[in-house]
């Protein structure tokens, strides 16, 4: 049974990373890092929490798959990814999860910079 569980987790992880290929580059990078961190963080959780974890990520994968499919079929050429989080789900989050969600939102809503300009504080002669 544990081997089957590991196989399910591994295949879900790979599938999500494949789905992220449909995302814009900035969101893909952010999503890939978030998924890697979350799957690593949940490596040693109990079976009940592992089950909930997998269910949530499977639901995420299903939504992302549909959104990626819709974006390729859209004639407008503009993809729309993401969904609203219902308040009742937010109420079930622990403080740590709320903090992670806020950090994720900050990162996802940052204006994308194509390059960085830094000024030297040293005067050149």
- How far does the chain reach from its first CA to its final CA, in angstroms? 71
State the pLDDT at residue 53. 92
Distance from C-alpha of 79 to C-alpha of 116, rounded to nearest angstrom: 26
How far apart are the C-alpha atoms of 59 and 65, rounded to whole Å? Answer: 10
Mean local confidence (pLDDT), 71-85: 73
32-72 per-position pLDDT tens digit: 999 999 999 988 888 888 899 999 999 999 999 999 888 87
- Tens digit of pLDDT for each residue in 112-121? 655 444 554 5
């Amino acid at each position: 049974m544990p081997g089957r569980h590991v196989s399910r987790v591994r295949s879900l992880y790979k599938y999500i990373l494949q789905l992220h290929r449909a995302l814009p580059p900035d969101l893909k990078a952010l999503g890939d890092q978030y998924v890697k961190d979350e799957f690593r963080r949940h490596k040693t959780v109990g079976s009940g929490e592992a089950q909930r974890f997998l269910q949530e990520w499977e639901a995420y994968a299903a939504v992302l798959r549909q959104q990626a499919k819709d974006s390729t079929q859209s004639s407008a050429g503009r993809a729309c990814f993401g969904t609203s989080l219902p308040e009742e789900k937010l109420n079930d989050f622990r403080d740590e999860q709320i903090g992670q969600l806020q950090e994720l939102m900050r990162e996802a809503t940052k204006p994308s910079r194509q390059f960085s300009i830094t000024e030297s504080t040293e005067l050149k002669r």
